[in-house]
Amino acid sequence: MIKKKVLRAERIRRIERGFSFIPHRFLTDGFLSSLDQKELLLYFFLVLVSDRQGLSFYSYDTICSLLQLSAEDYIRARDALIEKDLIASDGTLFQVLDLPPKPPSIARRGESPRHHEVRRLIRQALEGNADGR
């Protein structure tokens, strides 16, 4: 196990006014790998700008400008995040939602079904459930 130590004590992060977080499950349960680059960019931005209830109200023009996304890329990423049950939107407000129980099951580009099965077996083994029981 790696022993951690603070590398620059004068630069330890502090929680001040706002605070954003992404649950560790986002990485360990496969949500990160289920999103493409533009979806991740938009999701991380919405997490960053949201309040404690996950709400934000940046306009699509501002989001596209800040993230350097075309309107088409923004709409596709937004719709994908809604479909994957990670955000909700009413056209004015966004809400970053609590993570659903499982990430969307989508095959990655260039992966065969066998890759998916290997990943599932590894995940089960890591959870102490390699025989599927």
Please report whether residue 6 resides in a domain.
Answer: no
Please report whether residue 121 resides in a domain.
Answer: no
- Could you tell me the CATH number of the domain that includes residue 48? 1.10.10.10
**Phi/psi of residue 89, nearest 5 degrees:** -150, 140
Over the stretch 94-105, which tens digit does the pLDDT of each residue have? Answer: 999 999 999 987
Domain that holds residue 47: 21-103
Over the stretch 46-63, which tens digit does the pLDDT of each residue have? Answer: 999 999 899 999 999 999
CA dist list (Å): 72 to 64, 77, 78? 10, 9, 10
For the chain, percent of residues with pLDDT exceeding 70: 84
pLDDT above 80 (res 114): no
DSSP codes of every residue in 18-63: ------THHHHTSTGGGS-HHHHHHHHHHHHH--TTSEE---HHHH
Please report whether residue 60 resides in a domain.
Answer: yes
Over the stretch 10-30, which tens digit does the pLDDT of each residue have? Answer: 888 777 777 788 999 999 999
